[in-house]
Amino acid sequence: MSILTTLTRMWLTRSAKPFIFKNEYDQHLPFSDCEHLGLYVHIPFCRSICNFCPYCKIRYSKELCDRYIDALLREIRLVGSQHNGRKVTTSLYFGGGTPALAADRFKEIIDTIQEYFIITEGIGAELHPDDAVPSVLQVLRNAGVTKISIGIQSFQKKFQRILGRNSVNISTLKETLSEASFETISMDFIFALPDQTFDDLKEDIDTAFQIGANHVAIYPFIDFTFTSSTVSAMPKKEKKALLDAITLYCTEKGYTRSSIWTFSSEREAKYSSMTREHFLGFGCSATTLLKDQFKINTFSVEEYCKRIEEKKLPTSLTTRFSLRQRMVYYLFWTAYSTQVNPEDFENFFGVPLKSMYGMELKIAELLGFITWENGVYSMTLKGAFYYHYYENFYTLAYIDKMWGIMKKEAFPQRIEL
């Protein structure tokens, strides 16, 4: 499996050199001239820990959470003050963990961010279903949040049981959402669970749109090696049939496919913290992507707070891209939106996409993975499945390895991927 990702990486980067992440960092981050810059804030606290979840999270305590948010505000100031004036950015997303456990401090965080950054495309926050209640939604709305994403996973008891999640009260959620005024209400689902059928998923998607969502994200279940999940992954053939059936169903209903995993019932409904050219991440485990570097903060809440108390950035690892590596990274995440615009590529790198990857594009067209329409490359149904399939390998070969190490060591010396 990792042979496939290694060979693909060598082919596309035209080099045998792996991505090397080293225990070093820039205290001054060169983001001033980065266009299309997004912001991300990680809040790692959860009431209880789900055994399938790979993210950086820790059990909630009010005391630790407050200490963490104080450090987070200092990290934002340390980075934000490096730019002269307020830097224009696209969006701000809060992820976790369960960010709403710090709802009482959202306004302070957003106000601090706005001292240094101008946000032009709204503010999103990930919610656990337990937090989708009027009092919490009101606090978030008052703080400036414009989009929410609720981690439903499944409305059905048999899958909630498999995932160890509590059931969601559908009618109460519907009533709550009918009184909430967010421009995007997204719901997350996990698919490819044991014995899950198209009808199970169709019911989840229909329910989501009926009770107030205007956007859904349907993620394939990934069995990370370092989690204690006992759920087994669905075989490839069944998974492909399921993904194709959901995609066709959503397309026939008139929903827009806004990325590989997301569909929206209203064009303006968007929720994506991934498909951006550059981003700055704050908080433990948060990543930052700039012109020629990618860095990742420590996963340890304790070490994160300590570094910030020493007025140092909490970066654990940095990789400095070669030009081809940056191109591959750019194309991988842009393709996540199911489209690649050669003009955007040329504006970013100063060279035509065709001159760098003309042969690969031709092969992808011949294999029926992409089509050329109105000046952009669009992924076909087949292409989207193979992207998903490759992403699964990528996640297991790269993310699984890196996160597995970072969960054990706050500042590893070096990781090669």
CB atoms within 10 A of CB 127: 27
Which CB atom, from 361 or from 402, has the smaller least distance to ligand SF4? 402
CB under 5 to 8 A by kind: which of ligand SAM, ligand SF4, none does 126 bind? Answer: ligand SAM
Quickly tell me which residue has 């001159």 as its tokens: 355
**Smallest distance, ligand SAM to C-beta of residue 88, A:** 28
- 60 touching ligand SAM, by CB under 6 A: no
Which CB atom, from 122 or from 220, has the smaller least distance to ligand SAM? 220
Cβ-contact 378, 370 below 8 angstroms? yes
Which CB atom, from 149 or from 334, has the smaller least distance to ligand SF4? 149
- 221 touching ligand SAM, by CB under 6 A: yes
Q: Per-residue x/- marks for ligand SF4, 115-134, CB under 6 A?
A: -------------x------
3-class secondary-structure state, position 369: coil
- 49 touching ligand SF4, by CB under 6 A: yes
> Which distant-in-sequence residues (6+ apart) come within 8 Å of 247 by Cβ?
257, 381, 384
> Residue length, the chain?
417
Q: Per-residue x/- marks for ligand SAM, 133-172, CB under 6 A?
A: ------------------x-x-------------------
In whole angstroms, what separates CA 349 from the centre of its chain?
Answer: 24
Q: Per-residue x/- marks for ligand SF4, 146-185, CB under 6 A?
A: -----x----------------------------------
> Which distant-in-sequence residues (6+ apart) come within 8 Å of 267 by Cβ?
256
- 126 touching ligand SAM, by CB under 6 A: yes
Nearest by Cα to 19 from 366, 324, 361, 230: 324
- 54 touching ligand SAM, by CB under 6 A: yes
Q: Per-residue x/- marks for ligand SAM, 90-119, CB under 6 A?
A: -----xx-x---------------------
Cβ-contact 380, 339 below 8 angstroms? no
Which CB atom, from 55 or from 411, has the smaller least distance to ligand SF4? 55
Q: In what order do the strands lie in the sheet with 370-373?
A: 339-340, 376-379, 370-373
Q: Which of 199-207, 218-226, 315-323, 326-334 is the region at the interface with ligand SAM (rule: CB under 6 A)? A: 218-226
List % helix, strand, coil for the chain (3-state, nearest 5).
45, 20, 35
Cβ-contact 216, 208 below 8 angstroms? yes
